[in-house]
Structure 1
């Protein structure tokens, strides 16, 4: 499993547009092959900072989404609302052997 976090800082006046876009597309993203989970988080201190938190089967599933028509709709529309560059990273759970 691959966990993807994307931290996005929006211009405060653009937050409603982002929330509308996210809520209009979240179900379609969740239905993408390999997407196991998608959440939206809001920063507890800075209200115009949001993170998407998603689980993917693997990097190939995430890359397939990133190459999809849906991503081509969602990401450019989201980027136009940014006040700062996004920060994104992928991680994998660690299995601890005792």
Structure 2
């Protein structure tokens, strides 16, 4: 399952957010059920980020979202948002070659 989350931050907090993400990314990437994690930065809008992650399924994502790791990250950044986070859970339907 692919998960994309749009995070709209106070532009003054952008560097702080990127630094925090850098310190937590490996822990999130190695969380059980997560096989991939990237942080993308919008080229036109300062403070707009997207996380792109791949999970074994909804249960794995839910386990992470109820974990102390998620709670720690969320507590640190929730006051930095200038817009409501938006999230999409998607299935990859791209035909893959053997």
The verdict on a shared fold, with TM-score over 0.5 as the criterion, is yes
Distance 2:16 2:84 in 1: 17
* 1:6 matches 2:5: yes
- In structure 1, the partner of 2:14 is 15
* 1:63 matches 2:50: no
Distance 1:79 1:17 in 2: 13
Q: TM-score, normalised by structure 2?
A: 0.91
Distance 2:5 2:62 in 1: 14
Aligned counterparts, 1:1-98, within 5 A: 2-94=1-93
Q: TM-score, normalised by structure 1?
A: 0.91
Distance 1:12 1:68 in 2: 28
Q: Mind listing any 5+ residue stretches in structure 1 that lack a counterpart?
A: none
Give runs of ≥4 in structure 1 deviating > 3 Å: none
CA RMSD of aligned residues (A): 1.1
What is the CA-CA distance between 1:88 and the residue it aligns to?
0.8
Q: Mind listing any 5+ residue stretches in structure 2 that lack a counterpart?
A: none
The count of residues paired between Structure 1 and Structure 2 equals 95
What is the CA-CA distance between 1:47 and the residue it aligns to?
2.3
Partner of 1:6, secondary structure, is strand
